[in-house]
Structure 1
Amino acid sequence: MKTETGTPILWTAADAAAATNGRLPARLPAESSRAEWQATGVSIDSRTVQPGDLFVALRGPNFDGHAFVADALAKGAVAALVSAVPAGLPADAPLLLVEDTLAGLEDLGRVARLNFRGKVIAVTGSVGKTGTKEALKQCLEALGPTYATAGSFNNHWGVPLSLARLPADHAFGIFELGMNHAGEIAALTRMVKPDVAIITTVEAVHLEFFANVEGIADAKAEIFEGMTTAGTAVLNRDNPHFGRLLAAARTQGLGQVWSFGRHDQADARLLDCSLHATSSLVTADIRGERVTYTLSLPGQHHVMNSLGVLLCVKAAGGDVAVAARQFSQIQPIKGRGLRKRVPLTKGSLTLIDESYNASPVAMAAAAAVLGKADPGAGGRRIAVLGDMRELGVQSPSLHAGLAEPLRLAGTDLVYCCGPNMKHLFDRLPAALRGRWTESSAELAPLVAAAVRAGDVVMVKGSAGSRMSLVVEALLALDQSSRAGSAVAALSGS
Structure 2
Amino acid sequence: MTLWTAAEIAAATYGVAAADFAAGGVAFDSREVGPGDLFVALTGDSTDGHRFLDQAFAQGAAGAIVSADTAHPHVRVADTFAALNDLGRAARARMAGTVIGVTGSVGKTSAKEALFAALDRSLPGDVHRSVKSYNNHTGVPLSLARMPRDTKVGVFEMGMNHAGELGVLTGLVRPHIAIVTAIAPAHTAFFADESAIADAKGEIFRGLEPGGVAIVPYDSPHRDRLIAAAAPYAARTITFGLDKGADVRAVEAMRLPSGASFVTAKLGDRELSFTLSQPGMHWVSNALAVLAAVDVAGADLARVGLALAEMGGLAGRGARFLAPAVGGDMLVIDESYNANPASMRATLAVLAEEPGRHIAVLGEMRELGDASAGYHADLADPILAARVEAALLVGEAMTPLAQALEGRVEVMHVPDAATALGRLKDLARAGDALLVKGSNGVGLSRVVAGLANAGASQAQGVGT
TM-score scaled to structure 2, two decimals?
0.96
> Is 449-458 or 290-299 further displaced after alignment?
449-458
Partner residue, 1:44: 28
Change over 3 Å in CA distance of 1:161–1:479 after alignment to 2: closer
Shift of 1:225: 1.0
Q: Which amino acid aligns with 1:242?
A: R
Aligned pair partner of 2:52 in 68, 80, 92: 68
Change over 3 Å in CA distance of 1:361–1:345 after alignment to 2: closer
Q: What is the distance in 2 between the residues matched to 1:411 and 1:242? A: 33
Aligned pair partner of 2:230 in 224, 237, 249: 249
Partner residue, 1:23: 16
Q: What is the distance in 1 between the residues matched to 2:427 and 2:82? A: 51
Partner residue, 2:409: 432
Partner residue, 1:413: 390
- Please list the CA deviations of residues 73-105 of structure 1 after superposition, one character each: whole Å capped at 9, or x if unmatched: 22111111001114xx3xxx3110000001111
Q: What is the distance in 1 between the residues matched to 2:168 and 2:215? A: 20
Aligned pair partner of 2:298 in 303, 311, 317: 317
1:53 aligns with 2:53: no
Partner residue, 2:339: 358
Q: 1:117 aligns to what SS in structure 2?
A: coil
Q: What is the distance in 2 between the residues matched to 1:129 and 1:485? A: 40
Shift of 1:465: 1.2
Shift of 1:249: 0.6
Shift of 1:485: 7.0
Partner residue, 1:392: 369
Q: State how 1:32-431 maps to structure 2 within 5 Å.
A: 35-86=19-70, 89=71, 93-144=72-123, 145-250=126-231, 252-276=232-256, 278-344=259-325, 346-375=327-356, 380-431=357-408
Q: What is the distance in 1 between the residues matched to 2:452 and 2:54? A: 37
Alpha-carbon contact 1:425-1:433 (below 8 Å) kept: no
Q: CA RMSD in A?
A: 1.6
Q: 2:431 aligns to what SS in structure 1?
A: coil
Q: What is the distance in 2 between the residues matched to 1:421 and 1:407? A: 16
TM-score scaled to structure 1, two decimals?
0.91
Q: What is the distance in 2 between the residues matched to 1:135 and 1:471? A: 23
Q: 2:172 aligns to what SS in structure 1?
A: helix
> Is 465-474 or 199-208 further displaced after alignment?
465-474
Which structure has the larger Rg over C-alpha atoms?
1
Q: What number of residue pairs does the alignment pair up? A: 461
Q: 1:430 aligns to what SS in structure 2?
A: coil
Alpha-carbon contact 2:325-2:428 (below 8 Å) kept: no
Partner residue, 2:419: 442
Partner residue, 1:466: 443
Runs of 5+ unmatched residues, structure 2? none
Q: 1:81 aligns to what SS in structure 2?
A: strand
Identity of aligned residues (%): 44
> Is 229-238 or 69-78 further displaced after alignment?
69-78
Shift of 1:479: 5.8
Q: 2:81 aligns to what SS in structure 1?
A: helix
Shift of 1:143: 1.4
Q: 2:220 aligns to what SS in structure 1?
A: coil
Shift of 1:439: 2.2
Alpha-carbon contact 2:405-2:411 (below 8 Å) kept: no
Shift of 1:411: 1.7
Alpha-carbon contact 1:381-1:456 (below 8 Å) kept: yes
Shift of 1:406: 1.4
Shift of 1:473: 3.4
Alpha-carbon contact 1:142-1:323 (below 8 Å) kept: yes
Alpha-carbon contact 2:38-2:61 (below 8 Å) kept: yes
Alpha-carbon contact 1:344-1:477 (below 8 Å) kept: no
